[in-house]
Amino acid sequence: MIKSMTGFGRIQLRRGQNNWIFELRSLNHRFFEYSARLQEALNPFENDIRDWIEAKVPRGKVTLFITSNGGGTELERVSIDEKKAEFYCKSVKKIAHRLGLDDRLALSDILKLPNIFLVEKKTVPFPGFREFIRKGVEAALRELLKMKIREGKALRKDLTARISEIREALSNIRREAGKTAAQYERRLKTRVSQLAEGISLDAEKLAREVALMADRADISEEIVRLESHLGLFQSSLNREGPIGKKLDFIVQELNRETTTIGAKSMSVAISNEVIRMKSELEKIREQIQNIE
């Protein structure tokens, strides 16, 4: 079962007064590349998180977002630095008394004082935090994989249709090659005879040269190799695990053999089928860039 490298997974978990949101996005990439936007409390688990993801997504550019919001927070605790507030109040009253000013302070005045708040960040917000994070990441992974599989089915359907087009073109080439081989040999003999008119030629040597040139134009081996590569491509679509790199290599070989046929053939009908095949191969090459 092939998978697309493009996908998205999002899950929300409730914990206390907080909603935790886990989002995973994946895009095309030759290898596995991971990046994350995490809160500070999650930093100790970043290597674990990477391993959880890579075990399920071996290829692609994956980005993880984990955020929490709600009526409360378990990641940090905010309080007022009472000693500092008391120091500020005493200092203000002392100056006011010395200058004969009103020393009354409102709570709003105190809250505006610099560095009056204490923020205590927790290394582990609550017991079982690591397993809670793993649960959220794996749930988001399941959603991501559902989309990757769904996209993979669409890719497989498209690729299978294009391979069928190439098979049909190759069948036409095989049929045309059988007809043109003898025609090519006859035309070649006729042309050589015309050019050598009035000149005594060794008939046996001429036959060997004509046969050699005809052999150079023979495309039967390329047709056999193309059929083998097409079979390998089709069977690979049914295999489990990452196959994108393998398919890319097979397409390179298909292109090579198709180009050779185009270079050897002197038939307009075969050349037209070669163009048809190359057009489909280019579309296949673009599609497989998105296969895991």
Which CATH number goes with the domain that contains 46?
3.30.230.10
Pair (167, 108) in one structural domain: no
Q: Out of 7-16, 86-95, 132-141, 283-292, which region has the weakest mean confidence (pLDDT)?
A: 86-95
DSSP state, residue 28: -
Q: Is the pLDDT of residue 69 over 70?
A: yes
Q: Region 16-37: what's the mean pLDDT?
A: 91
Q: Is residue 62 part of a domain?
A: yes
Quick one: pLDDT band at residue 78, thresholds 50, 70, 90?
Answer: low
* 136 contacts 11 by C-beta, under 8 angstroms: yes
- In this structure, the answer to whether residues 65 and 116 fall within a common structural domain is no
Residue 2 lies in a domain: no
Looking at the structure, tell me whether residues 179 and 277 fall in a common domain.
yes
Kindly tell me if the per-residue pLDDT of 221 is higher than 50.
yes
Rounded mean pLDDT, 97-125: 73
Q: Of all residues in the chain, what percent carry a pLDDT higher than 90?
A: 50
Look at residue 62 and tell me whether its pLDDT is greater than 70.
Answer: yes
Query: Tokens standing for 81?
Result: 């630095």
pLDDT beyond 80 at 87? yes
Is 196 contained in some domain? yes
Same domain, 63 and 166: no
- Residue 77: the pLDDT is 65
pLDDT at 71 over 50: no
Mean pLDDT of 280-289: 95
97 and 223 share a domain? Answer: no
| 238 and 276 within one domain | yes
167 part of a folded domain = yes
Residue 212 neighbours by CB distance under 10 Å: 9
**Does 210 share its domain with 132?**
no
Candidates 129, 134, 152; CA nearest to 47 is 134
Which pLDDT score is estimated for 105? 73
Statement to judge: residues 97 and 208 lie in one domain: no
CB 76 within 8 A of CB 120: yes
How far, in whole angstroms, is CA 84 from its chain's centroid?
55
Name the nearest CA neighbour of 211 among 194, 180, 195, 188: 188
Evaluate the CA torsion angle 81, 82, 88, 91 in order and state its sign: negative
pLDDT above 50 (res 273): yes
- Find the mean pLDDT for residues 140-148: 96
Which is more confident, 93 or 282?
282
Do 195 and 88 fall within a single domain?
A: no
Q: pLDDT-based confidence at 63, cuts 50/70/90?
A: very high
Residue 147 near residue 244 (C-beta atoms within 8 A):
no
Consecutive H or E run containing 7: strand 7-15
Mean pLDDT along residues 42-71: 89
**Rounded to an integer, what distance in angstroms lies between the CA atom of residue 230 and that of residue 225?**
9
User: Is residue 11 in some structural domain?
Assistant: yes
The count of domains in the chain is 3
Q: Are 64 and 49 within 8 A, CB to CB?
A: yes
Which single residue is written with the structure tokens 């004509």?
210
Per-residue pLDDT band for 97 (boundaries 50, 70, 90) equals confident
CB 12, CB 273: distance < 8 Å: no
More confident residue, 239 or 254: 254
Q: Which tens digit of pLDDT belongs to each residue from 159-216?
A: 999 999 999 999 999 988 876 656 666 666 676 666 666 666 566 665 666 666 666 6
Domain with 256 in it: 152-288
The answer on pLDDT for 73 being more than 60 is no
Segment of 15-24, 174-183, 283-292 carrying the highest mean pLDDT: 283-292
Q: Answer yes or no: do 31 and 107 share one domain.
A: no
The answer to whether position 162 is within a domain reads: yes
Question: What is the pLDDT, as a whole number, of residue 72?
Answer: 44
Closest to 214 measured CA to CA, from 235, 195, 188, 239: 188
Residue type, 279: S
Higher pLDDT, 74 or 121: 121
pTM of the model: 0.70
Asked if residue 102 and residue 60 are part of one domain, the reply reads no
Average pLDDT, the chain: 84
Same domain, 16 and 141: yes
Please name every residue paired with 117 in a beta bridge, in sequence order, or none if there are none.
80
Q: Rounded mean pLDDT of 221-247?
A: 92
